[in-house]
Amino acid sequence: MKILIINGPNLNLLGTREPEIYGNISMEDYLETLQSEFSSYHLDYYQSNIEGEIINRLQKDDFDAVVINPGAFTHYSYAIADCLKNIRKQKVEVHISNIYKREEFRQKSVTAANSDAVLSGFGMNGYRLAILSLKS
């Protein structure tokens, strides 16, 4: 199974960006942990700060399932939401922090309705839980 993990804007700064919210582990380090735990899967990671690049990556359609943390695009990207709507594969939206304990504008996800599940507030472990949910 090939799982595409996509992170949106500023998530390339994990490990250094607001560690009190996002922790102090880089995505690259966490990906190594995930790959060793899920060695029977191919995990393909992609991060972009550009909305159109995320859509282009999703539209390559070379994966079996997607785990996506749209970052700030969660709250206003109808373009990514529309793209997710048209993907007929398992999709899990992940948020490191609990978006419902954050600022009001962060409490709304326009992309969630086009995902099969949403995980919020589990820290980096949310990615692991998302992959576990795809095993079934």
Q: Which amino acid, residue 37?
A: E
Q: What angle do CA 23, 97, 112 make, to 5 degrees?
A: 140
CB-CB contact of 5 with 67 (8 Å): yes
**Quick one: which of 54, 41, 57 has its CA closest to 8?**
54
Which residues make up each annotated binding site for substrate? 69, 75, 82, 96-97, 106
Q: Which amino acid, residue 45?
A: Y
Residues 6+ apart with CB under 8 A from 128: 34, 37
Catalytic (active-site) positions = 22, 95
Which residues make up each annotated binding site? 69, 75, 82, 96-97, 106
* Cα gap 65→1, rounded to integer Å: 8
